[in-house]
Amino acid sequence: MAFAEYEVVISRDAMTVYGFLADGLNNPLWRTGVRSISLSSGAPGEKGALYQQTLAGPGGRPIAADFEITEARPGAEVRFAVVAGPARPTGGYYLSTEGSSTRLRFALEYNPKGLQKLMNGLIQKTMESEVAQLERLKAVIEGEPAGL
């Protein structure tokens, strides 16, 4: 099993951070691998919302990575499951208030099956890179130049 998590403290209130994260259409603003995204069904940021997403894969090839929001608790958490593509991780954003700031944890989990188990090291490294992009999210939400 592959697991990765990363935490940042963002100088914004939890509802501001939650509102930005819950709407998957904001993903290209902070996730470098997102090539396109659209809302396929449901309401943005609500449980059951389905986003059609294309990521940059190996060699820049497009990879489907559609995901569904499986839990949405305003100001507290957003959980999702990837429902299309070669890898189907689950993950979540977990928020807690710290004064006027928000501690945000991003966690991803993936259980490779069959031959994918042979690529566990690469999968782990990719997931660690993905969750570390919270630094970019922090910069975007706080209005700083991302510069990454």
Structure tokens at 126: 């990719």
User: How many CB atoms lie under 10 A from the CB of residue 139?
Assistant: 17
Look at residue 148 and tell me if it is in a domain.
Answer: no
Q: What is the pLDDT of residue 112?
A: 72
Check whether 22 has a pLDDT greater than 50: yes
Look at residue 40 and tell me if it is in a domain.
Answer: yes
119 confidence band (pLDDT: 50, 70, 90): low
In sequence order, the 6+-apart residues with CB closer than 8 A to the CB of 104 are: 7, 8, 9, 10, 17, 21, 93, 94, 95, 134, 137, 138
Check whether 81 has a pLDDT greater than 90: yes
- Residue 93: its H or E element: strand 90-98
Look at residue 91 and tell me if it is in a domain.
Answer: yes
**Count of domains for the chain:** 1
Q: What is the pLDDT of residue 57?
A: 84
Check whether 88 has a pLDDT greater than 60: yes
Give the model confidence (pLDDT) of 31-75 as tens digits: 999 999 999 999 998 999 999 999 998 888 999 999 999 999 999
Tell me if 67 sits within 8 A of 53, measured CB to CB.
Answer: yes
Which CATH number covers residue 43?
Answer: 3.30.530.20
Give, as one character, the DSSP assignment of residue 148. Answer: -
Q: What is the pLDDT of residue 113?
A: 74
Burial class (CB in 10 A: 0-12, 13-18, 19+), 10: buried
- Could you tell me which residue, 85 or 140, shows the higher pLDDT? 140
Segments forming the whole domain that contains residue 79: 2-142
Look at residue 147 and tell me if it is in a domain.
Answer: no
